[in-house]
Amino acid sequence: MSGNPDSLALKQRAVSQPTASAWVMANAGAGKTEVLTRRVMRLLARGNKPERILCLTYTKAAAAEMTERLFKRLGDWALAS
C-alpha pair distances (Å), 77 with each of 31, 41, 80: 22, 10, 5
End-to-end distance of the chain based on CA atoms, in angstroms? Answer: 36
The confidence score (pLDDT) of residue 51 equals: 93
The confidence score (pLDDT) of residue 68 equals: 95
CA atoms within 13 A of residue 42's CA, in its CB half-sphere: 14
Per-residue pLDDT of the chain in tens (81 residues, 90 and over written 9): 455 767 878 887 887 777 877 777 888 888 888 888 888 999 999 999 999 988 888 889 888 999 999 999 999 988 988
Contact predicate 31/22, CB 8 Å = no
pTM of the shown model: 0.74
Instruction: Give the pLDDT confidence of 22-32 residue by residue, as tens digits.
Output: 777 888 888 88
The confidence score (pLDDT) of residue 1 equals: 46
